[in-house]
Amino acid sequence: MIKRVNFTGRRRIPRNRIDIQVHDGQPRTFDATIDLPAKQFPEEAAIFLEAMCAGSSAIQRFAFGKVGAVQAPRSRSLHEIEGENVFFTLKVVDQSERIGRILGIAENIRPLRAGRQTAAGRRGILPIEQVDLKHELWRLDFREHDVYLLVDRSDPDLVERIRSDPAVYAMLYPEIVRRILTQAIDENVDVEEDDDRWSVLWLRFGRSLHPDRETPPGLDDSEEEQAEWVDEVIQAFCERHSLRQAYLAATHGRNGGDS
């Protein structure tokens, strides 16, 4: 079990200070280069990297020495992390005055390089992760920085069908976008912030689709106004991608055309 620590007074560490590469294998392993800002933290403060993935609550913690002597652990095996979308959190933790207090943090660090088993580099606005959903085929997983589309792994071809089958795409994505935008409004964020949280990115996406480029409503607006804005974005989304026509064309062809 990972001990809870205090986040009071923590400093944000730029993600570009950490370079991570994940290597294929059973299990996968990783390498990390950590370059902390000079003199920002006590040299005796401890450094930890935590690995996670979408669709799972599993967290692996790795001790990387101290600020004054960064040292990677001998074992960097991701044996508890199964998903494709792996991300890391870097924490600098006080070991002197207030032991356990987080002095600095960098969250949602993506591997810059990886093998075929791991997503690397810049992510899309809706990463897809295959997991065991038991009786469901898909589900949305809302995290602090990202929202993921979880797809049941029982059918290996389901992810590709969701991405490229016009009929499946047309039936699923309007509802997926609707749910995400509705939840994003509930997050009550400022779309003008320089932020890469999923809610900010999705509301900007919605604004770019809106026929009048209208700013998303906030929690102070009525539920009717919120729903109307989302409806207008969904209609624009469907029109831009010609989803109705794509669905009819795909199903018409599968049914053999006119009899």
pLDDT in tens, 107-148: 989 999 999 999 887 667 898 999 999 999 999 999 888 899
In terms of phi and psi (left: phi > 0; alpha: psi -120 to 50; beta: otherwise), the region of 257 is left
Q: What share of the chain is helix, strand, coil (3-state, %, to 5)?
A: 30, 25, 45
Q: Could you identify the residue written with the tokens 């950490």? A: 18
- The whole-number pLDDT of residue 254 equals 66
User: Taking the model in full, what pTM does it have?
Assistant: 0.74
- The whole-number pLDDT of residue 1 equals 41
- Whether 159 is covered by a domain: the verdict is yes
Residues 212 and 242 in one domain: yes
Q: Which residues contact 38 (CB under 8 A, 6 or more apart)?
A: none
Domain extent for 72: 11-114
Cα separation, 161 vs 122, in Å, equals 23
pLDDT in single tens digits along all 259 residues of the chain:
444 444 446 788 998 999 999 999 999 999 999 999 888 999 999 999 999 998 888 999 999 999 999 999 999 999 999 888 999 999 999 987 777 899 999 998 999 999 999 988 766 789 899 999 999 999 999 988 889 999 999 988 998 999 889 999 999 999 999 999 999 999 988 888 767 789 999 999 999 999 999 999 998 999 999 999 999 999 999 999 999 999 999 888 666 655 4
Nearest Cα to Cα of residue 44 among 64, 63, 68, 62 = 68
- Whether 28 is covered by a domain: the verdict is yes
Question: Of 114, 146, 165, which residue sits at a domain end?
Answer: 114
Q: Which residues contact 62 (CB under 8 A, 6 or more apart)?
A: 48, 49, 50, 51, 72, 73, 76
Question: Of 84, 114, 144, which residue sits at a domain end?
Answer: 114
Overall number of domains in the chain: 2
